[in-house]
Amino acid sequence: MFLQTFATVFITVFLAELGDKTQLATLTFSAENPNRLAVFLGSAGALTLAALIGVLVGSQIERFISPQKLKMVAGIGFIAIGIWTLWRS
């Protein structure tokens, strides 16, 4: 079960992060700064902290909102952001 959950989360997050603004910002920092190890560690640390916050908040929010409703709210949020993005362009 652990390995299946790990693989699912890893693949989903990895694919979601490819080409997003965080990766592009890291790419830019790396191009501008010769200390690539510092760029990597700073970026990895920030993403790890953001993931930790997500896990901690997610483990607490499920007490108040069912996972089904949380998925629905997240889906509606993504759709709203997509419509807003299309509207602005």
Domain boundaries, the chain: 2-88
pTM, entire model:
0.70
pLDDT in tens, 29-81: 999 999 999 999 999 999 999 999 999 998 899 888 888 998 899 899 989 98
- The residue written with tokens 């997003």 in the block is 20
Q: Structure tokens of 25?
A: 């910002």
- Do residues 61 and 70 make contact, with C-beta atoms less than 8 angstroms apart? yes
Cβ contacts of 42 within 8 Å, gap of 6 or more: 29
Helix/strand number for the chain, H first, E second: 4, 0
CA angle at 28 for the pair 82 and 50, rounded to the nearest 5°: 60
